[in-house]
Structure 1
């Protein structure tokens, strides 16, 4: 059901805005690498949607269904120390990749954002570029638009969109294999020429941003292969 809604994207008109809070663990000392944090974000977002609790009859189903039926908004915030510990008590899924952790929470009405999340900072979540290693076996490739500058916080939401939109394109066997890898993703920035070659392919899922922050409306931010 959830995958069917994501695949159709014939969302209903929204009377109230819903969003998935994404909490990025960025400690002052020894912060994570940008790539690892984005890969953890992509995996945790789709993990919430594919969690058994989001299935019909599950305790998360109605919250996820209502959110997916609208626009799949996400809001990234940073946390450290006791702030990070506090959000672990809220319903959601934490994924850690190479020491970088992100917890994607159950979508909520923006007006009902939990107090532990609302007090976290949205700004200040950027990290310097890094050189990622080889693509891990079984990881799903997500390509970031090389022409557009985005903060790590903005990109965390975008790669989360990409992993979600990719999931309905996979077979049941592929989804089960991906789940065994904790929905491992590899986030990479291609050359401009590589991006242009990818963007028109039928086997590529494109994320086009609504343009609320940082980029112009309709900008293609991420491609999922």
Structure 2
């Protein structure tokens, strides 16, 4: 499967993530009314479910990081590649407008979701289950009934500075996004980094367990980062933020070394 060359600026929208084979980003920034090949393709969505128990919710930053690692875990799973059982769904999802939807569950809801085919990724306090892509109008009933909006999480303390050499998904410091929206955005940023990395660097990242950090970008660095040749997520503006907002910059050391 072709991948974007490292060192190119990648701008995509949160519900319109350009596939790895797209030669340009033009379709990603096209008006909503314009139909492209991805519009005409069957539409799929990547479901993510975060476990939020009433008395023991995860920390916000840990949930964002775990969501990003969940996306990477699925993309690199043998079931999602080659002739794997999820590969056809993943390919169909990548051929259309790549969407991610984060829902929340607790108690029996979480147990029903965990029984469906997927992968649960654990953080320090967070649990996120990622599922193979499903048709936009074909969600399994145990996922379709879960809530999307209103996901609110806090950090009990300020996260430490990212470890030296760790990939960082920098959040736009000027945007106020819900936890669910931010989890989808960090998933997009991780996916762009994965596409842009050479095979050897992808393999090394996977072998290490996909270490990464999610942090608000220092305001004085945001313009520099968005213009610096690293992958950038640009939002379509369907929810929470205005169209065209840059939400995440994927700052992987192997990509920074190539720009």
Cα distance change on mapping 1:9 and 1:84 into 2, 3 Å: farther
Partner of 2:205: 178
Q: What is the count of residue pairs matched by the alignment? A: 224
Question: Is the 8 Å Cα contact of residues 9 and 69 (structure 1) preserved in structure 2?
Answer: no
CA–CA distance in structure 2, aligned partners of residues 212 and 181 of structure 1: 35
Q: 2:243 aligns with which of 206, 217, 221?
A: 217
Deviation at 1:92, TM superposition (A): 2.0
CA–CA distance in structure 2, aligned partners of residues 185 and 67 of structure 1: 25
Partner of 1:7: 20
Partner of 1:154: 181
Structure 1 unaligned spans of 5+:
none
Partner of 1:206: 232
- Which runs of structure 2 are paired with 1:13-92 in the superposition (5 Å)? 13-92=39-118
Cα distance change on mapping 1:40 and 1:2 into 2, 3 Å: farther
Deviation at 1:47, TM superposition (A): 1.5
Question: Is the 8 Å Cα contact of residues 67 and 128 (structure 2) preserved in structure 1?
Answer: yes
CA–CA distance in structure 2, aligned partners of residues 6 and 182 of structure 1: 24
Question: Is the 8 Å Cα contact of residues 2 and 49 (structure 1) preserved in structure 2?
Answer: no
Kindly report the root-mean-square deviation, in angstroms, between the aligned alpha carbons of the 2 structures: 1.9
Deviation at 1:3, TM superposition (A): 4.9
Question: Is the 8 Å Cα contact of residues 45 and 164 (structure 1) preserved in structure 2?
Answer: yes
Q: Secondary structure at the match of 2:40?
A: coil
Max Rg structure? 2
Q: Secondary structure at the match of 2:89?
A: helix
Deviation at 1:2, TM superposition (A): 7.4
CA–CA distance in structure 2, aligned partners of residues 132 and 2 of structure 1: 36
| 1:95 matches 2:108 | no
What's the CA shift string for 1:64-96, capped at 9, x where partnerless?
000011111111100111211211222222211
TM-score calculated relative to the size of structure 1: 0.92
Partner of 1:166: 193
